[in-house]
Structure 1
Amino acid sequence: MKTLLLGLSLSLIGSSAFAADAVLEEVTPVFSWTGGYIGLQAGYARSDGNIRQRSGRGFVETDPDGFLGGLYAGYSYQMPSNIVIGVELDVVYANVDGSGQIFAAPGLPVPGGIAIEELNWSGAYIAGGVAYGGIDTSSNTVSGSFGDTLTGWTIGAGLDYAMTDNLLLRAEYRYTDFGTEALPNGKVDLKTNEVRFGIAYKF
């Protein structure tokens, strides 16, 4: 929003007359990152995932990949030194999955054995802290599908650009390690590399 600054100067002429000059100066305000925001995001994830199956069924490299999209919201505060700090929460729906050949031992595939690992959703606090995600696994050598919510950590780097006082654009890279979780069909491990793009409204 632009602001107008009104200045008034008086010039005395002789002893009985004066002139008044009104000066209008247009001032462009400095943008501040302080405030809350909410936005939409979408991106692509490529993962390093595996399933270490129980009952001697071996090790499976699944390496899921796919697209994701969802919401993010937070609050930023710009300090007098122009350093910006804040807190953020995000959650995305993920269509990230992968499958692999089941090996009973190195070089010994289980005939027809295939296992699948899927990341169905994920979220994070602060975009550089705690991460969580819903992961499902299944295979044609074990009856049923098994899933759980994994908790790990995430860190990333990105750029936010203010198109207007209220419209913010974002590009971000994020690495997430969801850790290892024991499921009925074995131990599951997942790490993701994500590229995300977002647009947000700043209040």
Structure 2
Amino acid sequence: MIFKSSNMANRRNPATAVLLLAASFVVPSNVASAGEAPSSYNWSGVYVGGNVGWSGFNSEWTDVDDDWGISPFDAGSRGFLLGGVVGYNHQLGNNLVLGIEGDLAFTSNKRSFDPTGADEVDMVNRMDMFGTVRARAGYAFDRFMPYVTGGLAVAHFKHVWTERDDVSDSWPDFGGTKAGWTLGAGVELALSDRWTVKAEYLHADFGDVVSRNEDGYRLKVDRAVNTVRFGLNYRF
């Protein structure tokens, strides 16, 4: 099976990178001195919008009981996402902007193949929905705002392993809708009083799931998602 064990460590790197990026965006509460003029643009208000971008679905499959005698393999995929967003910002007097945002997107991440390479197995590994509910904290440089964000992530997965000649040694779909956590950062720019554009990176982790088939063998699937997306929002 294709995935190397070292990828488990590598898969953590996006989260580490986000933490470093987040640290660079943190602005102390006393950054705005008494004589500093407040931002002329006010980010407060409800907004709606849309997102489009790229989604990387990292997924390691492990034959826990060595049923097939093959090593863990990578069944991840790269795809596109398209979705909508709704949120609320509140700008404080020191230009700190706090908010909450929710989004939901359809994704095209899918991989189907025979992991044994002997035309014995049909395997499907798919993520077709990705959403989040997150807190945001940014600092307004007038119409430009870098921010960090984090919270709840939800995705819908499909994991199927079908052995053609031995149904009892198969795993029916054990994916489903799963919750995890997400952390990220981005930048947003106000084009006018109502319209803003943004670029954002998110790392989400959904842990692993283990399924036991009729023959008693276990299959484990580990899931993580990285997204880079661009958005257009309208503020009311």
Paired position in structure 1 for 2:26? none
Shift in Å, 1:77:
0.5
Aligned in 2, Cα 1:138/1:94: closer, same or farther, shift over 3 Å?
same
Could you tell me which residue of structure 2 aligns to residue 150 of structure 1? 178
Residue equivalent to 1:18: none
Alignment-derived partner of residue 170 in structure 1: 198
Instruction: After TM superposition, give the deviation of residue 54 of structure 1 in Å.
Output: 6.3
SS in 2 for 1:32: coil
Matched, 1:75 2:75: no
**Do structure 1's residue 188 and structure 2's residue 188 form an aligned pair?**
no
Is the radius of gyration larger for structure 1 or structure 2?
1
1:48 maps to: 58
Question: Which deviates further from its counterpart, 67-76 or 50-59?
Answer: 50-59
**TM superposition shift of 1:140:** 3.5
2:4 corresponding residue in structure 1: none
Q: Does the 8 A contact of 1:117 with 1:135 survive in 2?
A: yes
User: Normalized per residue, which structure has more helix?
Assistant: 2
TM-score normalised by structure 1 residue count:
0.75
Between stretches 146-155 and 82-91, larger displacement belongs to: 146-155
Tell me which of 111, 115, 118 is aligned to 2:118. Answer: 111
Q: How many residues align?
A: 169
Tell me the amino acid that sits aligned with residue 173 of structure 2: S
Residue 130 (structure 1) shift: 1.1
Q: 1:136 corresponds to which letter in structure 2?
A: K
Q: What whole-Å deviation, never above 9, does each CA across 1:17-67 have from its counterpart, x for those lacking one?
A: xxxxxxxxxxxx921000010101011112321223467245432012101
Structure 1 counterpart of 2:230, from 186, 197, 200: 197
- Partner amino acid for 1:111? A
1:181 to partner: Cα distance? 2.1
Relative to its length, the structure with more strand (as a share) is: 1
Distance of 1:200 and 1:165 partners within structure 2: 11
Deviations along 1:128-179, whole A, 9 cap, x unmatched? 1111110001234226434311111111111111000100101111111111
**Structure with bigger RCO (C-alpha 8 Å, 6+ apart):** 2
Partner of 2:108: 95
Letter aligned with residue 133 of structure 1: A
Aligned to 1:37: 47
Q: Which of 76-85 and 143-152 deviates more?
A: 143-152
Contact 2:186–2:198 (CA under 8 A) maintained in structure 1:
yes
What CA distance in whole angstroms lies between the structure 2 residues aligned with 1:175 and 1:138? 25
Q: CA deviation at 1:123?
A: 0.8
Q: Which runs of 5+ in 1 are unaligned?
A: 1-28, 103-108
The one-letter code sitting in structure 2 at the alignment partner of 1:171 is A
8 Å contact from structure 1 (residues 115, 138) kept in 2 = yes
Q: Runs of 5+ in structure 2 lacking a partner?
A: 1-38, 135-148, 164-169, 214-218
Q: Which residue identity does 1:77 align to in structure 2?
A: H
Residue 21 of structure 1 corresponds to none
Task: Tell me the distance in 2 between the aligned counterparts of 1:190 and 1:143.
Answer: 17
Matches of 1:183 and 1:39 in 2, distance apart? Answer: 38
Q: 2:146 maps to what in 1?
A: none
